[in-house]
Structure 1
Amino acid sequence: MKKLALSIAITAAAIAAVAPAQARDNKMMMSIENAMNDNDARNRLGDSVKFYFGKQKTPAIAQKLSTDQTSQKTNSFGKTPEKACNWAFLSAMLRLQARAKELNADAVVNIVSNYKNVENSSDTEFECHDGTMMTGVALKGDFVKLK
């Protein structure tokens, strides 16, 4: 009886190993405000660089320095989709902030979601892709000096 059970377990494991994986990739639109209120995001980002999403009104721009993008992922294991998306969003924002500082920019404007290079502009939401193992957020923006 033990040999039969062992044989069945080994066979099931072998089938599972060669069966095609069903990867989850759920596209979700998440609240920027909620993400900024999670994971101590506001304090971690500080106020040395200002961020403006979509078509939000900005102060006058003195100079556009560059356009750049970032794609950040986080492990989604053991996290709710919202928590994982907020972590990936914060990682992406921290990368935009670091790039702004490298360029001596004081703001990032026209920030859009840019998952797989498909732009999705919103003043209030960002696009997140939540998967079985990883969750990702891609952002793109213009780095500027304000007047």
Structure 2
Amino acid sequence: MFKKVALAAVMMGSLVQVVHARDTEYKLPIQDVISMPEYQEKVGSDVKFYFADQKAVPKNNLGEFVTNKKTNSFGKSDEAACKWAMLSALIELRDRALKEGGTSVVGITSYYKKNEFASATQYECHAGGIIAGVALKGSVAK
């Protein structure tokens, strides 16, 4: 009987942890992602990225787009998981730019839960116990 009660208590404790899941906000350097060897390999140089108010001279604005990428953070540090989520978000923006015939994405801001954070040097990431996420918004231009 004691074993059943103890097992039930452990299970209830686990459920409470899931209900009160962690959501830690980070502001991390964009340069750390751009410096990753995987960045050049996976993102390439076909599309240029301009964050916040960085100077860009787009000739044609082809529309504003949002990406919301999540990654598994199990067994990784929050920062490492955030880098992978940011890399995935940039890949998605690059793919969208190419699809629309663009050569750049300008005015990129973090857009987590539709809250904007604009910085030329940092992005916003939210990390929990098993998932980290990055959302970006930017305008595709040519």
TM-score where L is the length of structure 2: 0.92
Deviations 1:54-76 (A, max 9, x none): 11111x22111110000000011
2:77 alignment counterpart? 80
1:142 alignment counterpart? 139
1:101 alignment counterpart? 98
1:7 alignment counterpart? 4
2:35 alignment counterpart? 37
CA contact (8 A) 1:105 1:143 kept: yes
Query: What is the alpha-carbon distance in structure 2 between the residues aligned to residue 14 and residue 138 of structure 1?
Result: 33
Q: Which has the larger radius of gyration?
A: 1
How many residues end up aligned between the 2 structures? 141
Q: Is residue 102 of structure 2 the alignment partner of residue 113 of structure 1?
A: no
**Gap runs ≥5 in structure 2:** none
Out of 7-16 and 71-80, give the one that drifted further.
7-16
CA positional deviation for 1:14: 4.1
CA positional deviation for 1:18: 5.0
CA contact (8 A) 1:39 1:87 kept: no
Query: What is the alpha-carbon distance in structure 2 between the residues aligned to residue 127 and residue 14 of structure 1?
Result: 33
RMSD over aligned Cα atoms: 1.6
Distance 1:51 1:12, change over 3 A: same
**Gap runs ≥5 in structure 1:** none
Distance 1:18 1:115, change over 3 A: closer
Q: Is residue 38 of structure 2 the alignment partner of residue 54 of structure 1?
A: no
CA positional deviation for 1:39: 5.4
Distance 1:144 1:14, change over 3 A: closer
Match of residue 130, structure 1, among 122, 127, 131 = 127
Identical counterparts, % of pairs:
38
SS of match in other structure, 1:68: strand
1:27 alignment counterpart? 25
